[in-house]
Amino acid sequence: AFAGASLADLAAHCGDDPVPLTELNLGHLPASGKQKRDLRACTFLRTVKMLNVESLDGADYKLLFACPHLGALEVLSLGGCYSHEKAALDSLVAAEPPPNLRYLNLSGWKFTADTAARLADSPIGRQLWGLTLMTSYTPPEAWRAFYDAGLPLVGSPLFDVNAPCEYVTSTTFREEI
């Protein structure tokens, strides 16, 4: 984990022959603002299999997915309540996913049945082997949309009633449907 580091800082310090990274947790990146990130210089990402950019602003997702160095990426965490879900979802469903991406963590996103169906029917949704969501932010209609689309949900197959929970349920999803 590189607390407080930006992608630009890492790109500047990693050089042309970086140490191979397989897991990278960048956590809460600041939005790139008017000066958009240029990820072409981030060659250190070419060996990363697990990437956490949890609260990257959704407007920057398009730049992230355009990065030519994500060929090894298998697990991506874009969760977080600071990701501006509307802009993020638009970019996410339009993106051409990295070729080896299998699992996506969107904990902290609030899905509706419609937004769940949009994601499941997108190129990235059709490629995934599993999706992780936060149970307290996901209504049963959204879980059902993912289930109907055949997108496996991993990490949280149980609806719980632990506070804070916007959707009070107490049932095991797979057995009830």
pLDDT tens, N- to C-terminus, the chain (177 residues): 455 566 666 666 666 666 778 888 876 665 555 555 667 778 888 899 999 887 677 767 888 888 899 999 999 988 666 667 777 888 889 989 999 999 998 888 889 999 999 999 999 999 999 898 887 788 889 989 999 999 988 764 444 434 344 444 444 444 444
Q: What is the pLDDT of residue 16?
A: 63
What's the rounded Cα separation, in Å, for the pair 124 and 99? Answer: 10
Q: What is the pLDDT of residue 167?
A: 46
Q: What is the pLDDT of residue 165?
A: 43
Do β-strands 23-25 and 75-77 pair in parallel, antiparallel, or remain unpaired?
A: unpaired
Q: What is the pLDDT of residue 169?
A: 45
Check: CB of residue 116 under 8 Å from CB of residue 142: yes
Q: What is the pLDDT of residue 166?
A: 47
Q: What is the pLDDT of residue 148?
A: 93
User: Coil, strand, or helix at residue 104?
Assistant: strand
Q: What is the pLDDT of residue 125?
A: 95
Please state the pTM of the whole predicted model: 0.78
Which letter, b or e, does each residue of 132-170 get, where b requires 16 or more Cβ atoms within 10 Å of its Cβ? bbbbbbbbbebbebbbeeebebeebeebeeeeeeebebe
Q: What is the pLDDT of residue 177?
A: 45
Q: What is the pLDDT of residue 33?
A: 53
**DSSP letter, residue 22:** S
66 contacts: CB under 8 Å, gap ≥ 6:
39
Check: CB of residue 34 under 8 Å from CB of residue 57: no
Q: Return the residue matching tokens 């899905």.
A: 111
